[in-house]
Amino acid sequence: MIKNIVIFGNGNHCQIVKQEILKHSNYRILAVYDFIEGRIKLADAYKKSKISWQSNFYGITAAGDNRQREVLVNKVNKSFKNIKWIKIVSKNSVVEKDVKIGEGTLVVSGSVINTNASIGEHCIVNTSSSIDHDTKIGKFSNIAPGVHIAGNVNVGNSVFIGMGTCIQEKININSNVSIGAQSFVKKNCKKNSQYFGLPAKKKK
């Protein structure tokens, strides 16, 4: 059965979302919406589909920024009562069968997610990242390309983990934390904070 998908967000990240959708033969893109100055505007309707995108459809966001993605999801939920959020898992990723992935989340090519891990709603697991066993990631978080998260790590909501960062096992990263690229995290991270370095330290 074909799943009709509308993409919300038309920035650079949208190209990644499109490519991952097109790898699935049972997915079809109906339209792309832009998010400008807090408003949702139609950017591109795929008329060749010969389907009204105003009927029931699936949606996914293409906003890389965590806060913007959360605002966009709330706007869409109010504007489109007929939407159902869909998770997109790349055919070129390795995800164990018992992994839980929330609706609206994108898992990009080359990613590996191991047994008993869970990813919250509206997250991004970007190119060639790895998430090991029993790790939990909250909603609206962004795991950048090349991030490696060890086992039994807890990541809160709206967390950004920068490119190439490594997280040691059994670490707690609280909500609204931003970790700079190429960092090594070996201590717990406090909420509403920024961390960076080898090892990662809280920025004052």
Residue 199: is the preceding peptide bond cis (ω within 30°)?
yes
Give the model's confidence band at 167: pLDDT under 50 very low, under 70 low, under 90 confident, else very high: very high
Query: What is the pLDDT, as a whole number, of residue 52?
Result: 57
pLDDT on residue 50: 52
**Per annotation, catalytic residue among 13, 122, 133, 148:** 133
pLDDT exceeds 70 at position 5: yes
Backbone angles phi, psi at 120, to 5 degrees: -75, -175
Q: What are phi and psi of 69, to 5 degrees?
A: -65, -40
What is the topology classification, in CATH, of domain 88-199? UDP N-Acetylglucosamine Acyltransferase; domain 1 (2.160.10)
Q: What is the mean pLDDT of the chain?
A: 92
CB atoms within 10 A of CB 56: 11
Give the fold, CATH level 3, of 3-85. Answer: Rossmann fold (3.40.50)
Q: pLDDT by residue (tens digit) across 25-82?
A: 899 888 898 887 667 787 777 655 555 555 678 999 999 999 999 999 999 998 888 8
In this predicted model, which residue has the larger pLDDT, 126 or 49? 126
Model confidence pLDDT, tens digit, residues 180-202: 999 999 999 999 999 999 999 99
Catalytic annotation present for 148? no
Stretch 151-169: mean pLDDT, rounded?
98
Residue ranges of domains in the chain: 3-85, 88-199
Question: Which residues have CB under 8 Å from 57's CB, separation 6+?
Answer: 4, 5, 6, 30, 82, 83, 84
Buried b (16+ CB within 10 A) or exposed e, 125-141: bbbbbbbbbbbbbbbbb
pLDDT at residue 105, as a whole number? 98
